[in-house]
Amino acid sequence: MGMGPTAMGSKIPNVLMHNWSPPCPSIIKKNYYSSVKREHSGRLASQSLVIETNVTGTAEDQSVARRLILLRHAKSSWEFPSLRDHDRPLSKAGQDDAIKVSQRLQQLGWIPQLILSSDAVRTRQTLEIMQQHVQGFLEAEVHFISSFYSVAAMDGQTAEHLQKAICKYSRDEILTVMCMGHNRGWEEAASMFTGAFIELKTCNAALLETTGKSWEEVSY
């Protein structure tokens, strides 16, 4: 059996999935191995929980766990309407959320070795703040990929694009990768990888886990 829903806030223990929506950024943890029998299928009523499901497969397949973090940028500012969308900075609320999500990922032990990010200002600033507050993000290998910005607006293309980028930049010894970008593409990719509807609001992270000897062998 996989673990049941776990509340993100330590001050509110034993909270049911349908009854709690915390003020801090949400993190969704799902397994995206294609043959998994999922107990939490369909639309998730609340994205404020950490959810784990079992992995199926042979012992050999499960020898190496590989983890993917899909993080949408923090909330951006509309204070400067003359700026291009690509150049909009974070709002104060977005800056605060970037701190919170970095600390929450650290608490969960999900620190990436490789970070692939859109080159938009709001994603760059989200990452910069995370690096300032959690050393592990500063130590990760980082690549800014301009196509992450444009592909997110194209229907149904983000998941495949992310897979190709991960295979291009990762190595077999890299076990945790974080991809930072935008909606609607990030929601579509998370939903496609899990087989369930995943909603990613600003500064929400979907934590996906599977197994494989290399990223090329990962089954989506």
Helical segments of 78-120, H only: 92-108
Model pLDDT, residue 38: 32
Half-sphere exposure of 21 (CA within 13 A, CB side): 7
Model pLDDT, residue 204: 97
Model pLDDT, residue 218: 81
Q: Enumerate domains of the chain plus CATH numbers.
A: 6-217 (3.40.50.1240)
Q: What is the mean pLDDT of each run of 10 residues along the chain (220 residues)?
A: 28 23 50 34 33 37 82 96 95 98 97 98 99 98 97 91 96 97 96 93 96 81
Name the β-bridge partners of 49. Answer: 7
Model pLDDT, residue 15: 19
Structure tokens of 73? 């940028």
Which residues have a Cβ under 8 Å from the Cβ of 207 and sit 6 or more positions away?
27, 28, 29, 30, 50, 67, 68, 69, 108, 110
Model pLDDT, residue 29: 62
Whole-prediction pTM: 0.77
Is 171 within 8 Å of 139 (Cβ atoms)?
Answer: no
Alpha carbon dihedral 30, 36, 38, 41, in 10-degree steps, equals 80
